[in-house]
Structure 1
């Protein structure tokens, strides 16, 4: 069990670090929006690029902090019955739902988005707008983010297995 706990802790620490580093992209978004507002409202000189870049940075932010959100349980849930279950029953239910819903979805998106990103890289895909920034680096974020989600899903399942094996409330 100690090996499983170490693996889970490593995966948690990895996703915690990735989430914290990625969360700084909010500062970039804020600066872009402020720049556009000042350009548009004060200098009457709107840009053609800030909206698109802000959208891309938001996509990066949203995708890359997803595993961090799973780690810290910030997702919305309705657990009127779940909270009444014992730790072992919660662990069993979690293992079932991770196996049936979470993992197949994450693996499916990881697989599909990897092909999607690879084609984009091969084509050196750019946006259809007048600004025409490269899209392929941002499309590559999708499989990267789902890879981190997969790692966090594995960590969460390990935690539930430890609870079932040792009867612990949590190993965090």
Structure 2
């Protein structure tokens, strides 16, 4: 039981860290896009790097944030039938939903890794002046969905082992 709780705490912490990294990446994206607007329209000297870097940051931020969103129950939840988080039906329904999420994540990780590996071996780059290796962009998919699968497992463990007062408020109120 102690190992499960350690796993949950490590995953919760990792999801918090990746969520904060994602937030800062979105913030930085806003800054560099603002810089680009200033350079382009005020100084008539557009940059060659802002467009691609902002896209890469947005892709990474979106995929890094999904485990954080799951941990905080900040996604869309419909619970018309099972409102009591302590009922067996609710625990079973939540666990089933998370198992479906894990299945989807594992499929995405497998195919994401395949595409990333082929692209890495072939040395594919973006079709831009910067020619960023595609491995940097494509790795966001399997990293993000891998983190989401691991956080989903942590959420299943919480459902069956934690007492309702130990769960975050978002878990209890939808």
State if a TM-score over 0.5 links the two structures: yes
Q: Which residue matches 1:10?
A: 10
Runs of 5+ unmatched residues, structure 2: 168-174
Kindly state the Cα deviation for residue 31 of structure 1 after the two structures are TM-superposed.
1.8
The unaligned stretches of length 5 or more in structure 1 are: none
Equivalent residue for 1:143?
142
Residue 23 (structure 1) shift: 1.9
Q: Partners of 1:109 and 1:156 in 2: how far apart? A: 19
Give the distance between the partners of 1:48 and 1:21, measured in 2 at CA. Answer: 25
**Structure 1 runs (4+) greater than 4 angstroms displaced:** none
Q: TM-score, normalised by structure 2?
A: 0.86
How many residue pairs match? The answer is 167
Which range moves more in the overlay, 35-44 or 133-142? Answer: 133-142
1:7 shift after superposition: 1.8
Alignment RMSD: 1.9
Q: CA deviation at 1:84?
A: 5.2
Shift of 1:131: 4.2
Instruction: Give 1:35 deviation, angstroms.
Output: 1.4
Would you say the 8 A contact 2:21–2:61 is kept in 1? no
Where do 1:23-42 residues align within 5 Å? Answer: 23-42=23-42
Between 1:114-123 and 1:83-92, the stretch displaced more is 83-92
Determine if contact 2:109/2:141 at 8 Å carries over to the other structure: yes
Secondary structure at 2:47 match in 1? coil
